Amino acid sequence: MISARHGPPSPVGSWNKSSYSGYNSNCVEVAQIAKHVAVRDSKAPYALHLEFDRAAWAVFLSQTKLEPRD
C-alpha cells in the first residue's frame, strides 16, 4: 500500500539521503516509520511525501535494481 501525506512524518530515525543524489540538492530522502517507509523530496520537506508499507517498498526496490541506469 502506498499513501501520500502532507507535512513531515515523525520518523523513528532520521531522514537519509540517497547515495545517488547529486550535489545540487536534487535529493530523495527516506525515513523508517514504524511499519512504513517514507520518501520525500529534500527540496520540499513540508510538502507531500509518500509512505510505503514494507512489502510495497521491497517490490519497488527489487524492480529498480533490475532496471538499467543511464
Output the pLDDT for position 21.
67
Q: Where are the domains of the chain?
A: 2-66
Task: Say if residue 36's pLDDT is above 70.
Answer: yes
Closest CA to 31 of 10, 48, 6: 10
- In this prediction, residue 14 carries a pLDDT of 81
Cα dihedral 9→12→14→15 (10° resolution)? -40
* 4 vs 28, residue with greater confidence: 28
Alpha helices in 1-70 (DSSP H): 54-66
Q: Are 6 and 61 in contact (CB under 8 A)?
A: no
Tell me: pLDDT of 8 over 60. no
pLDDT at 13 over 70: no
Q: What is the pTM of this model?
A: 0.68
Which neighbouring-strand residues pair with 7? none
pLDDT band at 6 (very low <50, low <70, confident <90, very high): low
